[in-house]
Amino acid sequence: MKLIVAIVNNDDAHSVNTNLSKSGFFVTKIASTGGFLMSGNSTFLIGTQDEEVDHAIDIIGKYSRKRTQPTPVDISYNSAGFGTFPAEVVVGGATLFVLDVEKYVRV
């Protein structure tokens, strides 16, 4: 068994959630915050059989769009006022981690 941790843009979270559930995946959605942009995103926990992992990744990829978002001013500029990061960054589609599950218990 695997645990997929998927970080998804808030604007895509509803369609990712709906389509995972429709396809029979058990999903937990957690409100999260990106450390770089310091804006909200959604983290999904999906416990599933090994052979279903690629199916879940396909669904998440299909409903997660790439988009550009402005970099916050306090990250983009140093104290001298010089730009240190690009004014915009490309965010997404989704960032995924696939972990081995040692034990899955429901009591």
Pick one of 7, 13, 16, 96: the residue that binds ligand 2BA (CB under 6 A).
7
Binding mask 46-75 for ligand 2BA (x = CB under 6 A): ------------------------------
Rounded to 10 degrees, the C-alpha dihedral 62/66/67/68 comes to 170
Quick one: 7 or 46, whose CB is closer to ligand 2BA?
A: 7
Instruction: Please tell me what DSSP assigns to residue 83.
Output: B
- Considering the complex, what minimum distance in angstroms separates the CB of residue 35 from ligand 2BA? 4
End-to-end CA distance of the chain: 18
Quick one: 66 or 106, whose CB is closer to ligand 2BA?
A: 66
Pick one of 37, 53, 57, 98: the residue that binds ligand 2BA (CB under 6 A).
37
Q: Is 35 in the site for ligand 2BA (CB under 6 A)?
A: yes
- β-pairing, 94-100 with 2-9? antiparallel
Three-state SS sequence of 32-61: EECCCCCCEEEEEEEEECHHHHHHHHHHHH
